[in-house]
Amino acid sequence: MIAEGPYFDELTVGQVFDSAPGLTLTSGLAQAHRSIIGERLALPLDDGLAASVTGDPALASPALVWDVAIGQSTSVTHHVKANLFYRGLVFRRAPHLGDTLRSRTEVVALRQNRAREGRRPTGLAALRITTADQNGEPVLDFWRCAMLPLRDPAARTGHADDLDAVGTAASTESLTAVVDGWDLDPLRGRDPGSADLAEGQVIEVGGGDVVSSAPELARLTLNVAEVHHDAAAGGGTRLVYGGHTIGLALAQTTRALPGMATVTGWHSCDHLGPVFEGDTLRSAITVERLEPARNGTLAHLRSRVTADGAEQRDVLDWRFAALLP
């Protein structure tokens, strides 16, 4: 008997995985997570400020929340070769430390890839992840697409679903509902604020961040994908978890925009290439759109990340919505 997750040819549309353990968000977990990604969002760092803005102290970092949700979904993707995209991630509520997160992962679409000479056959599995707290209240809802190998190299599954149809675009209303009732006045005056930004503006973030503690972040967030732990599964080099790249991109964004209140959702997130421990990541942020929110400005941002390794390469294209005072 081998304890392992399913291969592509063992999945069916409609299949549900919900056996990943729940995880309680604690200050120790938050500090360990921050030590790896270095995010500087003011509200999760400052209990007094969080209480004055949200009404409650001990706000959890949005990056910690989505990392846990993604990690809980990896019981389906134990054998993952690559994660192609995330779509439509929306926060339904902003958890605080002390909350416990549980996730349900459903297979919503499958497409077997064309066979390639000398390569093990693979397929794409589109998954919908819904995360709730200890009271059953919705926290996150999003889609991700993972590439998985087939157990039987000769299998022809017939799966040919249209992956372009997967996911629902996040509306402005859904992206701002999570912060309804927040008072952003205590955040005003932290430059640059929304008044200092213009649509089309590009912000080059000075300095890069070295990727370190890759397996520690995977373990911390319940991510069991082999390629993030076992160098042999990654072809001889351990592949960094995609959320690690996203977390460092957020850290660089929070350095550029220190007044940011939170990330309320993602429009899309495409992994353009692999990231390995020891790479240095650099990013440029484009302000794609600014629109009034109920209590501030919703900035639609695009972070493009490159990695310095053996050569510089594009690794991430992340479009997300952030609330600014």
pLDDT digits (tens, 9 = 90+) for 149-185: 999 888 899 898 999 989 888 888 899 999 999 999 9
| pLDDT at position 230 over 80 | no
2 within domain boundaries: no
Q: Can you tell me the distance from the alpha carbon of 48 to that of 285, in angstroms, rounded to the nearest whole number? A: 29
Q: Can you tell me the distance from the alpha carbon of 113 to that of 252, in angstroms, rounded to the nearest whole number? A: 35
160 within domain boundaries: no
Residue 208 pLDDT class (50, 70, 90 cuts): very high
Residue 239 pLDDT class (50, 70, 90 cuts): confident
Per-residue pLDDT at 191:
62
Residue 295 pLDDT class (50, 70, 90 cuts): confident
Q: With H, G, I as helix, E, B as strand and everything else as coil, classify residue 286.
A: strand
Q: Can you give the residue range of the structural domain that contains 95? A: 8-153+165-324
For the chain, give the mean pLDDT.
Answer: 91
**What CATH number is given to the structural domain containing 137?**
3.10.129.10
223 within domain boundaries: yes
DSSP 239: B
3 within domain boundaries: no
**CB 161, CB 104: distance < 8 Å:** no
Tens of pLDDT, residues 104-162: 999 999 999 888 877 888 999 999 999 999 999 999 999 999 999 999 888 899 898 99
What is the count of structural domains for the chain? Answer: 1
**CB 83, CB 246: distance < 8 Å:** no
**CB 62, CB 30: distance < 8 Å:** no
Q: With H, G, I as helix, E, B as strand and everything else as coil, classify residue 324.
A: strand
134 within domain boundaries: yes
Per-residue pLDDT at 195:
64
Per-residue pLDDT at 235:
64
Please return the burial class of 31, using the count of CB atoms within 10 Å of its CB with bins 0-12, 13-18 and 19+: exposed
Nearby residues of 136 by Cβ (< 8 Å), 6 or more positions away: none
- What is the percent of the chain with per-residue pLDDT over 70, rounded to a whole number? 95
Residue in the structure block whose two tokens are 């629109």: 291
pTM for the model = 0.94
115 within domain boundaries: yes
28 within domain boundaries: yes
Per-residue pLDDT at 49:
95
DSSP 186: G
